[in-house]
Amino acid sequence: MIRNFIFYSFQIVKVFQQSNGHYVCIGSIQEGGDVVYSSVLILVLTQNGDQIQKIRFDDLKVKNVLQTSDDGYILFGSSMIKLNKDFNIQWTKEIIDGKYWSIQITPTSNNGFALTGTYEQNQIFLKTFESNGNEESNKIYKNRDYQFQEYGFDLKQLNDGGFLIVGRSSITVFPNNLQCQILRTNINYDTIWTKKVNYSTNSVLNRIIYSESNEFIIGGEIVSPNENRQSFLIKTNDNGQVLDSLIIDNQNCPFNNY
């Protein structure tokens, strides 16, 4: 197949250091013109930055990468691809089926992993998987009779085995603003509590930055139409109560990446 490329871009997604000191850089390529093609590029570098290995997977898109307990990797995008330590594909799992849109992946305590995102663009979901990519559990969270545009943008398994999921919800009365949402589950993935964090305009939570000592620091954005985006941080306790907050007038804050 002949492809005519008008532009080319490359973005590093994750960097890992191996036990021998070498660096594994995994990134996403976007290239094309009227049609945009996505590829995954893996570079292995020495400690001095010299390239010693280069692997490319065409027609794949990667948003995040997990390193597994066997020194392999899970590439996460429109599908999940498990690579062994030599970067050979072990298995591939499709994760987009028209109803579930997966946004974020995180490791779990049993050497598996979990996904969150949106179900039919109206409800947050949580799926857990075994280390071989087989689905273990699936929960869809219903917080009220009417739900609209609820998304989970980040998640983390906590010390008690439950999950913290952050994202957004929609106010059902006029004006229909988006608001921050935090969801806490128990070890069975049932809801313990759901909290909304209100700003005067559209806002979302998109990154769990810190989760220790029963306190969480979460990053987000205020995304008012026709205005510059503002980043913010909030600190909550284990009950979802906001203890402190900070607004940062910088739309390029590094924790905003969804």
Domain final residue pick, 71, 94, 117:
94
How far are the Cα atoms of 129, 144, 175 from residue 110, in angstroms, in the given order? Answer: 9, 32, 43
Same domain, 112 and 240: yes
Prediction pTM value: 0.87
- Cα separation, 93 vs 249, whole angstroms: 40
Compute the average pLDDT of residues 48-60: 95
179-225 pLDDT, tens digit per residue, is 899 999 999 999 999 998 887 678 899 999 999 888 999 999 987 76
Same domain, 116 and 138: yes
**Total domain count for the chain?**
2
Q: Which residues contact 15 (CB under 8 A, 6 or more apart)?
A: 23, 24, 25, 26
For the chain, percent of residues with pLDDT exceeding 90: 69
- Burial category of 47 from C-beta neighbours within 10 Å (exposed 0-12, middle 13-18, buried 19 and up): exposed
Domain final residue pick, 94, 118, 144:
94
Same domain, 170 and 78: no
Q: What range defines the domain where residue 249 resides?
A: 95-258
